[in-house]
């Protein structure tokens, strides 16, 4: 097991951080908009490697882990 | 840290750098992300230099070698035996 140095560096910044854009301006009808991701915190490097992303909001974004990790993720 | 632990940590740091790099391509003014990126690049660079000093080159170019030429020693970095095992290591 590797102990990462400076774990504080990967933790969430002070205050309430929402990891995405919350207001989208100049919206028009019949258009699709994707809110911009904002980095609040990241996984530690080794956890990032195992999960495939450094960004917690992108991990298990479609909920496959709840259905049984590994077995049905490609169905 | 033994050889496998060093290589595992280096792989993790390199992966983290790539992911932050992709994020920064679309968020070029995120100062906190740039600071994290730079700190991890520096840490990975130092770890890579230490690994190569102890165990030989990781790249076919841009790595130094002792004599005799170390690149032709087996196993090569892309071969199974060269690498660590991530299975069962949850942290």
**What pLDDT digit, counting tens, does each position of B1-17 carry?**
899 999 999 999 999 99
Counts for chain A of helices (H) and strands (E), in that order? 1, 0
Residues of chain A in contact with residue B40, where contact means CB-CB under 8 angstroms, are 45
Would you say residue B91 lies in a domain?
Answer: no
Closest-approach residue (CA) in chain B for A13: B32
ipTM of predicted complex: 0.83
Quote the Cα angle for A55-A47-A2, to 5°: 145
pLDDT, residue B46, reads 97
Contact B40, B20 (CB under 8 A): yes
The verdict on a CB contact (< 8 Å) between B30 and A39 is: yes
In B, residues 31-70, which contact A (CB 8 Å cutoff)? 32-33, 36, 39-40, 43
Whether B13 maps to a domain, the answer reads yes
Separation between Cα atoms, residue B5 and residue B34, nearest integer Å: 26
Write the DSSP symbol of residue B88.
T
Beta bridge partners of A20: A37
pTM of structure: 0.80
Residue B78 lies in domain: 3-82
Query: Is any Cβ of chain A less than 8 angstroms from the Cβ of B24?
Result: no
pLDDT digits (tens, 9 = 90+) for B31-44: 999 999 999 999 99
Which two tokens mark A56? Answer: 């917690």
When divided into structural domains, chain B yields a total of: 1
DSSP notation for A1-28: -PPPS-GGGGSPPSS---SB-----S--
């Amino acid at each position: 097991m590797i102990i990462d140095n400076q774990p504080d560096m990967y933790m969430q910044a002070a205050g309430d951080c929402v990891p995405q854009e919350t207001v989208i301006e100049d919206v028009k009808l019949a258009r699709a908009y994707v809110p911009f991701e904002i980095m609040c915190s990241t996984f530690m490097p080794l956890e990032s490697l195992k999960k495939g992303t450094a960004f917690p909001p992108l991990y298990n974004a479609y909920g496959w882990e709840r259905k049984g990790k590994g077995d049905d993720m490609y169905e | 840290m033994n050889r496998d632990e060093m290589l595992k940590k280096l792989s993790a740091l390199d992966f983290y750098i790539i992911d932050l790099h992709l994020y920064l391509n679309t968020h070029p003014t995120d100062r906190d992300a740039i600071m994290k990126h730079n700190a991890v690049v520096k840490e990975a660079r130092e770890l890579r230099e230490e690994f190569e000093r102890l165990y030989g080159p990781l790249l076919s170019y841009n790595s130094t070698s002792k004599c005799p030429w170390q690149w032709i020693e087996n196993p090569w970095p892309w071969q199974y035996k060269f690498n660590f095992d991530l299975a069962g290591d949850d942290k």
